[in-house]
Amino acid sequence: MAHDPDIAGNPDEPDPPGPRRPFAAELWAVTRHYRWRIAASVLLLIVAKIATVAVPLVLKRIIDAFSQPALPAQLPIYLLAGYALLRFASTLFNEWRDLLFARVTLSTVSNFAQKTFAHLHALGPRFHARRQVGSLLPDIDRGTNGIAFLLGVGLFTIVPTLVEIGLVLAVMLRRYHPGFSSIIVLTFLAYVGFTLVFTARRVVYQRRVNKLDSRAKGQLADSLINADTVKYFGNEAFESRKFASIMDGWLEAGVGNQRALFTLHVGQSFVIAIGVAAIMLFAGQAVMQHRMSVGDLVLINAYALQVCLPLNALGFVYREARDARVNAERLFGLLRERPEMPDPPDAPVLHPGAGEVVFEHVSFHYDPERPVLFDVSFRIPPGTTLAVVGRSGSGKSTLARLLLRLYDPNTGRVLIDGQDIRHRSPSSVRRAIGVVPQDAALFNDTIGNNIAYARIDADREEVVAAARAAQLDGLISALPEGYDSPVGERGVMFSGGERQRIGIARAILKNPPILIFDEATSALDSVSEHAITQELERLARNRSTLIIAHRLSTIVNADAIIVMENGRIVERGTHAELLEQEGAYAQLWLLQQRMAQAP
């Protein structure tokens, strides 16, 4: 096995394509339903900050009152009580604001999570074939967390800090020398400028860390899902090297990110230290010259800290907000992916009748350089069975995907009861078709719920009847918990043949006018295969049935058989007619008979 020199991949790959809207517009589209709640929260925020800014003013008056050579005749209770009430009011209004805004944040996160979940299911096979589930999950998790941060901590730290700085400057300009306000403004501008420049540099590292983190989780999930295969080939060390290569890249990106963070933090602290020192030197000189009281010095010191310390929080929040935005970018990128087969609610629905299926001059390719089907035409009359055989890669399974409208033909038409399914909603097409795939995928749920997944409103008696028809009742009755027995992750607690029979029971329960069996008996033993084949033949009597088969013994009773080679139909007829032609089908039949008779 060749070693991939770029195991870690390219962590700087572009975001998924799709029309972009401004980031704020993406959030506003969801949060605008709560605009009055948001407005009330902002009002509470402003009131809380007014109370916070008023605290040093009251404290100055208290200090000045007690700093007089002659103490006041009475304790200034109104000042002391006002000081306590203002502090309490600041906390009260902030907490009230958080309570009011909690519904906005949580509803928005829930909305995006639900929207992403539904959108991922709406995307087609091409998207899911090129993306790893293990890498999608952290993108979604980080994205929703990033949105929550931007709406909550981000909004209610940046806005309050700006409000507080504005109020402090207004008080300082009104009461003191403009030099104090000038120092605060210069400190603020230097801090903001430094933060903007160095945070922008750090975002490059953060994006790289996120992409490598997603890649590592994708590799981890993929390797663990295929743990048996890893052991079959003794490639544990190889898998460890692949994972270590990704983690080494993640480590270096993380160290670079931390270096950028170190520079950012130290620079921010230095700017604040210079600003506070300048303010205190200026104020101390004024006190020494008796141009200001000790209370004024305390007030200016409180305001300097009240402005400069939140700058640290502002820098932290801005940095984290940029990180949150980077995280949310991947989520919005997923939401910008366009479904290959959109299913708008106003799309015309398929109205199935007797179940006639027609392929008219259908050609198709997944990749333009590798055509799969060439001018394929056939008809399945109502209540008849058509079997498709051929070598691997001949295009057999693609016929089923086109009939299910997972893809649309590049040329030609697929019709059900005379209706071109290209012009019918995909969901309505799929409701008319029952499928038993080559490998029945099961949810980590009970065996009863897995069968009932074909028809969510089915009762237990209907589920039992479907299981009995699929020859599952003996297996289920032997289980301690019966139909409530768990099947495990991806059905690992059952054999391939047992999983296949659950898939057959699903199709029986759905009871559709059209059936597709894609190698439906390939995982069964000879005895079970014979029993299931007879049941499938009984089910197919009143339905249009497409059988994609490998074992020719299962399709000898089909009404018609087509043989495919390299995406073209090369032979048609019944089993007997094809044997008489002594062509590709006859050769394949002879080969399978010899293999069956071999000791």
Backbone angles phi, psi at 521, to 5 degrees: -115, 15
What is the distance between the alpha carbons of residues 91 and 49, in angstroms, rounded to a whole number?
A: 10
Q: CB atoms < 10 A from the CB of 580, how many?
A: 11
356 Cβ contact partners less than 8 Å away, ≥ 6 residues apart: 379, 380, 381, 382, 415, 416, 417, 418, 544
Kindly list the distances between the CA atom of residue 136 and the CA atoms of 143, 206, 321, 484, in Å, as whole numbers in the listed order: 11, 17, 21, 31
Amino acid 403: pLDDT:
92
Give me the domains of the chain, ranges plus CATH numbers. 23-336 (1.20.1560.10), 357-432+512-597 (3.40.50.300), 442-502 (no CATH)
Q: Could you give the CA distance from residue 167 to residue 51 in angstroms, rounded to a whole number?
A: 11
Contact 447, 485 (CB under 8 A): yes
Rounded to whole angstroms, the Cα distance separating 456 from 436 reads 17
Per-residue burial over 76-113, b if 16 or more Cβ lie within 10 Å, else e, is eeebeebbeebbebbeebbebbeebbeebbebbbebbb
The three-class DSSP label of residue 360 is: strand
| 3-state SS, residue 588 | helix
Whether residue 63 contacts residue 80, with contact meaning beta carbons closer than 8 Å, is answered with no
pLDDT at 362: 93
Q: How far is the C-alpha of 375 from the C-alpha of 410, rounded, in Å?
A: 10
Q: Phi/psi at 453 (nearest 5 deg)?
A: -60, -25
Residue 206, C-beta contacts closer than 8 angstroms, at least 6 positions apart: 257, 322, 323, 326
pLDDT at 377: 93
Q: State the pLDDT at residue 510.
A: 86
- Residue 364 DSSP symbol: E
Q: What is the pLDDT of residue 517?
A: 86
Q: How would you write the pLDDT of the chain (599 residues) with one tens digit per residue?
A: 333 333 333 433 444 444 455 556 666 666 667 777 777 877 887 787 777 767 666 776 766 666 665 555 555 676 677 767 777 877 787 778 777 777 777 777 777 777 877 777 777 667 766 666 656 777 777 777 777 777 766 566 666 677 777 777 777 777 777 777 788 788 878 887 887 787 777 777 777 887 787 778 777 777 776 665 676 567 778 888 888 888 888 888 888 877 877 887 788 778 878 887 887 787 777 777 777 776 677 777 776 766 766 666 666 677 677 777 777 777 777 777 787 777 777 788 888 888 899 999 999 988 888 888 999 999 999 888 999 998 877 888 889 889 988 888 999 999 999 999 988 888 889 888 888 887 777 877 888 888 888 888 888 888 888 888 877 888 888 888 888 888 776 666 777 777 878 888 888 888 888 989 887 666 566 666 676 677 677 777 788 899 988 888 888 888 999 999 888 999 999 999 999 888 888 888 888 888 766 65
pTM confidence score: 0.62
Q: Which amino acid is at 453?
A: Y
Contacts for 112-116 with beta carbons within 8 Å, 24 or more apart? 112/30, 112/143, 112/144, 112/147, 112/331, 113/140, 113/144, 115/335, 116/140, 116/143, 116/144, 116/331, 116/334, 116/335
Yes or no: say if 535 and 545 are a contact pair by the CB < 8 Å rule: no
